[in-house]
Chain A
Amino acid sequence: MMISELTATELQARLTTAGLCFGCGPFRLRLNSSLRLLFPVLHKLYAHYPVYDHSGVDDYRMTLDWASPLRRWLRPVVRFSADGPAPFTDVSIEQAFPTLEWGMNWCIAVRAHHVLMLHAAVVERHGRVLVLPAAPGSGKSTLCAALSHSGWRLFSDEFGLVQPEDATFIPIPRLISLKNQSINVIRQFSATAHIGSTYHGTHKGSVAHIRPPLASITRMKESAPAGWVIFPRWQAGAALTLQPIAKDRAFMMIASNAFNYEVLGELAFKAVAHIVKNCEIYSLVYSDLAQAIHTLDDLTQ
């Protein structure tokens, strides 16, 4: 059963009692919240995630709720927590949903040390994945959103999860988070992208979230090896260039892009070496999104 198949009342009942248990990629998550404004957002944007029975072994247990029952009326702030003290400062109720998304990323990033975690967007086609490592201003989420709505399967917008033993990528189809101008860019690029409300004034400016396409969730247990690593950079007015990157430099760039390269030690060294050896690696500078997608399509035919 998917979250969209729950009625609004059933969804609310789960969130406010034992918790809403659902699956995302390899993880089983449990969310508790009594924030009414969150319920319709979850119903829409989390629609395709499978609902799990509430007795089972959770990977992450998250709570997003009023910071204190009293302050709810004075200064309405909410707090995210997961198995312990709150990792972030409290935020205003308007920012509840983006905070939940960041909180979930935080949970995965601090704990999932059984896999190598790249800070990257990942999409798949013809059984191989294209990895887009993140750097400030890289526009990886914009590219990821555009690719996921142009015939590629979304693996992840934020985490390239790598099985260290064989360097295959594991899907974790979380929502794609768009910032500022890229929200409109994607609205114009794809009529089928399902984009939620825009939240203004967060610490990252305005953000909006794209619901992962249904197929990315129904196939979220299907891993794939990497075929290409593309380091993107968006630059206003730039002519498109696609330049191969030397393997030694690529190794350094991928290793330093991972959240937990040091933690996995030798396993991480070998996994990154495997990716570098088996992938075509380029840097991509672009200004026009459609042209960039076209180039990537050609490259990966």
Chain B
Amino acid sequence: MDIWQLHSQGALHWEQWEDQFALYQVASGETHFLNAFGAAILQQLIAAPQSLDAICAHLAIEFDCMPDAELCAQVSALLTRFDELGLIQRHDD
């Protein structure tokens, strides 16, 4: 299973309002808006590189839900999007 980590040019500035986040990505000059779920995934990866399963397990606890296939699919889709945006990358890249 892929291990994900923050992108190597991953300098970010955060702004937070309750459960919404704005993120400035220094390398691209882009501003991204995230909800609490997206932000939690990214913060997980800032803490340490990890696999899809590990992220799901953690999110299930944080958001008090089942670590089921639906959650996994959701997280996986977000990881793909973050990868495309260059927010994260695979650990071996």
Q: Taking beta carbons and an 8 Å cutoff, which residues of A are in contact with B?
A: 246-248, 251-252, 255, 261-262, 265-266, 269-270, 273, 276
Contact = CB atoms under 8 A, between A and B. Distances in A.
B9 to A, nearest CB: 14
A92 B33 CA distance: 46
Given A265-B29, A269-B31, A251 B13 contact: no
Nearest to B34: A248
A269 B22 CA distance: 9
Interface in B25-55: 26, 29, 31, 33
**A-B pairs with lowest CB-CB distance, top 10:** A248-B20, A247-B17, A269-B24, A265-B29, A248-B17, A273-B15, A251-B22, A269-B31, A266-B24, A269-B13
B26 A266 contact: yes
A261 B24 CA distance: 12
Interface string B4-19: 0000000001010110
Contacts of B29: 262, 265-266
A246 B29 CA distance: 24
Contacts of A251: 15, 17, 22
Contacts of B31: 255, 261, 269
Interface residues of B, number: 12
A262 B18 CA distance: 25
Contact of B22 (A246, A265, A266, A273): A273
Contacts of A248: 17-18, 20-22, 33
Contacts of A247: 17, 20
Contacts of A273: 15, 22
Contact of A252 (B13, B18, B26, B33): B33
A248 B35 CA distance: 10
29 contacts: A246-B20, A247-B17, A247-B20, A248-B17, A248-B18, A248-B20, A248-B21, A248-B22, A248-B33, A251-B15, A251-B17, A251-B22, A252-B22, A252-B33, A255-B31, A261-B31, A262-B29, A265-B24, A265-B29, A266-B13, A266-B24, A266-B26, A269-B13, A269-B22, A269-B24, A270-B13, A273-B15, A276-B15, A276-B17
A247 B17 CA distance: 7
A262 B24 CA distance: 11
A153 to B, nearest CB: 30
Contacts of B17: 246-248, 251, 276
A218 to B, nearest CB: 38
